[in-house]
Amino acid sequence: MFDTSTFIRLLPELILLVTALVVIFVDLYARRRTALGLLPGLSIVGLALSFLAVFAQWGTREVVAQTLAADTFAAFFKMVAAVAVILVVLASVRYMRARTRYVGEFYAFLLVATLAVYIAVSARDLITLYLGLETLSIVSYVLTGFLRDDKRSNEAAIKYFLYGAVASAIMLYGFSLLYGVTGTTDLQEIARRLLNGDVLVNMEWLAWPAIVLVTVGFAFKASLVPFHQWAPDAYEGAPTPVTMFLSTVSKATGFAVMARMFLVAMPALQSSWTALLYGLAVLTMTLGNLIALRQTSVKRMLAYSSIAHAGFILMGLVAVTTALGQPFNGLDGVLMYVVAYAFTNAGAFAVVAAVEDGTGGATLDHFAGLVGRAPFLAAAMLIFLLSLAGVPPLAGFAAKLFVFAPVVRQEYYVLAVVALINAVLAAGYYLKVVKQMFFVEEPERAPFAVARSMRWALWLMIIAVFGVGIFMNWFAFMASQGAAGMLGL
Amino acid sequence: MAFFDRWVLTIILFWPLLASIWVLMLPKEKEDQIRRVSIWMSVVPLVLSALLFVDYGARFLPRGGGIHYDVQVTWIPQLRASYHIGADALSVPLIFLTALLTTLSLYYSARVIKHRVKEYFFLFLLLETGMFGVFMALDLVLFYVFWEVGLVPMFFLIGIWGHENRMYASLKFFLYTLVGSVAMLLAFLALYFHAGTFDIVQLAEKRPFADDIFKASLVFFGIFLGLAIKVPSWPFHTWLPDAHTEAPTAGSVILAGILLKLGAYGFLRILLPILPTAFAYWGFLMVILGVISIVYGAFVCMAQTDLKRLIAYSSVSHMGYVMLGLGAAGVALSGKVVPLSPDSAALAMDGAMLQMFNHGIITGALFFLVGILYERAHTRDLTAFGGLSGKLPYYYGIFMVAGFASLGLPGLAGFWSEFFVFRGAFDIVRVWAAIGVIGVVVTAGYILWRIVANVFLGEFNEERWGDKLWDMEGYEKATLWPLVLIMFILGLYPTPLVNFFNQAAVELLTKAGFMFH
């Protein structure tokens, strides 16, 4: 069963696993100073190698070990995760060193979390899917509460854990219903049996509560309104690099799993899950933005903004069409949005981390006159905020284009108007930060420096944000291949 | 010539962007160098666009106009969106206007802006690329990109270098425009799904939604919202008085001179060719909005005490002429009204286009003049002045030329645009054109009664102003003379410009299916 080809297909995962182990051992045996220098480098090398291993196998479309899909859809999310985690590592070098002794564990956990993401996005079986998501969740709880002496970090972890556990239980219940009806955990098989009426018990109607329960579970993971209450606290209390991870990679994973689950296992019930997601999308973007408007902490504001963005991503799934080969099919919008959003949001949170480092806080007041004190940070933040607002030629514009388009194609006029209003609302609070950074002048406050690794990370993200926007065609190409290559369609 | 044809637009378009990157590289202490680099770099697109004007006029205008200097490079093949730029008889003069006003603004700002110099010139050059891009783009995605690119620098120009209420005004400006542009984006996507391309030229040939007036109207109003906010037409104008009043002098010049034209340009480049049926169907609405803008704007001017706000509202009124001209052409296109002379539709459109150009020159000059006074007096209150004609004769003279051009005195540029608009519109929508004429009368009222009587005539307040006010300096004269000259030249001999715009109008109307008998 375990032959060479399986080994090669699993190479990206294995690289991550080995790197995580190496990081733990180096941390155990190396002297502290060497370890501090070595660990981030090791993690980045491992992530980069694993990225290459995924990229080298782009275009495959096969089942591995019966439960994993080695398809372009999974590969796309894996590559996004690998790159995003590299950026997280770069952003955490100084931040974590200044706040905790357990740096080795931190990087190891990040690598394991990435591994969990890899498994979750390629899972094509309910059990594997749950395994991946649950590993990711548990590691995320630990990472959120990583600063043991920080009350807020602890509170965030507990909140996140309690909500997450409940969500997992609900989702699991939904899975059990699906299994009870169809007698299989294989996603493709579930779809086939639901379609043919080839079911164990004659209670197909159970698929409906199953959809609702599964959706609720995913909605918790992806922090969709009204299942979002944990997110702002967790995002604000967690160490900022962890917030970067949660708001980009974790969230992307939630959408990947959701897309695969709905499209592969329940194509027959599309109208009902579309209706559910439609409502969630409208609620999520509107409430997320309205609450974000009132925040005074930039970190918390970005937390709510990332909730709102989840609503935008959801538009792609709501308006998904089965003609996945064509551009603007909805699913490619989800992928485009995930890439664009990963770089942009990670960038924005990285700036927040740097500002916290330099000024000791991340409220709007700490951003006042930033252009005079740390012009590079201010410029970087401006670029990320404009991208979040969807201003061309930045990444956020590409994302906006690709999720608005399917909505227009499907002629969901109400959703389109809601999205329009929300785009403007969001710009309103992004500009509030811009105003603080550039229009308010604080000549008395001292300038501060930015760590070198952070500078690197920010440059990379700026280039990426421009790159995705200007060379939209490359990313659109990858996204459309990623969407069309989903196994089991 | 092949090289010129292929590259001239691309060079004009990206030259300011390169210049802005150069400015970004310079250390911010070297303010003089930043100023010099910006001004001289902006001369290049100015010279090229002047060449473009002459070249187009000599080579293409006598041979039936059309789009030339076009470049098309695939950008997003999956969506059939491309880097497609080109210029025709409509855009060539507007590209020249953009280059001219930008260079003058930079030259003037070099003396006036002393705070955060590097950022200012960086943003201004970036803005220039955005404006050029809109006038050149022949692809909807590209059009949208440049449309938004211009938005950000102006937001900063108002927010950092503006007056007391700058933060409110800048935010209002940005959010208003964003509402419109997102609506526009949605409409562009609808066009794409119907016709399978973002290319403006191809879309004009395919005529999406030609047989479905309901959907065509839906798309029409999506784009209309974006454009009407930018123009701005009543009732979408409320951002304008704030933005124009609070912006720094050069910012107001560019706002009034170019950014408003982007909106009007969109009507001609996108709405009329791509959705001619909806344009014709809703032409009457545009006439009504235009006339309301003209009359309402003019009356509001009468009530102003803030000189800059007055000029700002005069823009609402003057851009109303553009809307009236376009709307009249639309009504003629619909065939519901048969004009006595079939040329009337083209004449109304000529007038609208002429007004776009002339308003840029005239209001640009007026905003410079208001800025010059504000630099000295630090107040914009009309009633605080009086009797300046004796103390500042040179300033008085220049202001009179610009003011008279603005109220449409024959012999100056503004006359022709109003004349063409009303000559065309009278034949098509007589009653509404007649109401619009009220605006012309009131314009004379606020220029003469509000501005001239309050500021220049009457008693000079020696106690308050004593030696605080002085006449124009060399650089101020140098900024204004080019504009004044153009007002005279176009006033006495508008033929070259009319040739351009008439060609464009005939072309647009013919393609939209209008029959010239």
Site of tokens 């504001």: A301
pLDDT of residue A114: 96
B189 chain-A contacts, CB cut-off 8 A: 328, 401, 404-405, 408-409
How many Å apart are CA B160 and CA B166, to the nearest integer?
7
- The residue among B17, B78, B191 with the most chain A CBs within 10 A of its CB, best to mutate, is B78
Sign of the four-CA dihedral A75, A77, A79, A85: negative
pLDDT of residue B56: 94
DSSP 3-state assignment of A190? helix
Calculate how close chain A gets to B231, using CA atoms only, in Å: 20
pLDDT of residue B384: 87
pLDDT of residue B140: 94
Give me the total of CB pairs closer than 8 Å, taking one residue from chain A and one from chain B. Answer: 80
- Side chain identity at B492, as an amino acid letter? L
CA A78 to chain centre: 11
> What confidence tens digit (pLDDT) does each residue in B87-116 have?
999 999 999 999 999 999 999 999 998 889
- Rg (alpha carbons) of chain B, rounded to whole number: 22
Q: Give Cα separations from B13 to A112, A326, B94, B472 (angstroms).
A: 49, 33, 13, 34
Task: Print pLDDT tens along chain A (489 aa).
Answer: 567 888 888 999 999 999 999 999 998 888 877 777 889 999 999 999 999 999 998 888 888 888 888 899 999 999 999 999 999 999 888 888 888 888 888 999 999 999 999 999 999 999 999 999 999 999 999 999 998 888 889 999 999 999 999 999 999 999 999 898 888 899 988 888 888 877 777 776 787 888 899 998 888 888 898 888 889 889 988 998 999 999 899 999 999 999 999 999 888 888 888 999 999 999 999 999 999 999 999 999 999 999 999 999 999 999 988 777 778 888 999 999 999 999 999 999 999 989 988 888 889 999 998 998 899 999 999 999 999 999 988 999 999 999 999 999 888 999 999 999 999 999 999 999 999 999 988 878 888 888 888 898 899 999 999 999 999 889 988 998 888 888 776
Flag if A409 and B189 touch (Cβ within 8 Å): yes
pLDDT of residue B178: 93
Flag if A327 and B170 touch (Cβ within 8 Å): no
Residue B62 has a CB neighbour count (10 Å cut-off) of: 10
Calculate how close chain B gets to A489, using CA atoms only, in Å: 22
pLDDT of residue A432: 92
**Nearest CB to A405 within list B148, B170, B189:** B189
Helix axes B117-136, B2-25, angle to 10 degrees: 160
Flag if A473 and B76 touch (Cβ within 8 Å): yes
**Nearest CB to B148 within list A391, A435, A438:** A391
By the 8 A CB rule, do A426 and A305 touch?
A: yes
The residues, any chain, with a CB within 8 Å of residue A384's CB and separated by 6 or more, are A344, A345, A347, A348, A351, A461, A465
Partner A contacted by B156 (CB < 8 A): yes
Residue A56 has a CB neighbour count (10 Å cut-off) of: 13
- pTM for the predicted model, two decimal places: 0.93
Flag if B167 and A439 touch (Cβ within 8 Å): yes
pLDDT of residue B263: 94
For chain B, the first-to-last Cα distance in angstroms comes to 37
pLDDT of residue B387: 85
Q: Give Cα separations from B377 to A66, B308, B382 (angstroms).
A: 81, 13, 11
By the 8 A CB rule, do B350 and B419 touch?
A: no
Flag if B159 and A386 touch (Cβ within 8 Å): no
User: With a cut of 50, which residues of chain B have pLDDT below it?
Assistant: none
By the 8 A CB rule, do A268 and A191 touch?
A: yes
What are phi and psi for residue A324, nearest 5 degrees?
-75, -10
Beta-bridged to residue B68, according to DSSP, are B87
Characterize A107-129 residue by residue with b for buried, 16 or more Cβ atoms within 10 angstroms of its Cβ, and e for exposed.
bbbbbbbbbbbbbbbbbbbbebb
**Nearest CB to A480 within list B78, B119, B186:** B78
By the 8 A CB rule, do B356 and B266 touch?
A: no
Calculate how close chain B gets to A341, using CA atoms only, in Å: 19
A476 chain-B contacts, CB cut-off 8 A: 76, 78-79
pLDDT of residue A2: 63
Flag if B149 and A427 touch (Cβ within 8 Å): no
CA dihedral A331, A334, A340, A344 (to 10 degrees): 180
How many Å apart are CA B52 and CA B69, to the nearest integer?
9
pLDDT of residue A266: 86
Flag if A438 and B171 touch (Cβ within 8 Å): no
What are B452's two structure tokens? 């001239």
By the 8 A CB rule, do B297 and B320 touch?
A: yes
DSSP string, A233-273: HHHHHS-HHHHHHIIIIIHHHHHHHHHHIIIII-GGGHHHH
Partner A contacted by B186 (CB < 8 A): yes
Flag if B78 and A393 touch (Cβ within 8 Å): no
By the 8 A CB rule, do B149 and B126 touch?
A: yes
pLDDT of residue A376: 93
Give the residue from chain B lying closest to A431, CA to CA.
B171
Rounded to 5°, the CA angle B283-B287-B288 comes to 120
Partner A contacted by B190 (CB < 8 A): yes
> What confidence tens digit (pLDDT) does each residue in B35-57 have?
999 999 999 999 999 999 999 99
Calculate how close chain A gets to B57, using CA atoms only, in Å: 34
Give the residue from chain A lying closest to B180, CA to CA.
A420
pLDDT of residue B391: 87
- Rg (alpha carbons) of chain A, rounded to whole number: 21
Residue A80 has a CB neighbour count (10 Å cut-off) of: 26
Partner A contacted by B210 (CB < 8 A): no
By the 8 A CB rule, do B291 and B413 touch?
A: no
Flag if A473 and B159 touch (Cβ within 8 Å): no
**Nearest CB to B193 within list A409, A435, A477:** A409
How many Å apart are CA A303 and CA A232, to the nearest integer?
5
Residue A467 has a CB neighbour count (10 Å cut-off) of: 15
Calculate how close chain A gets to B183, using CA atoms only, in Å: 7
- What ipTM did this prediction achieve? 0.92
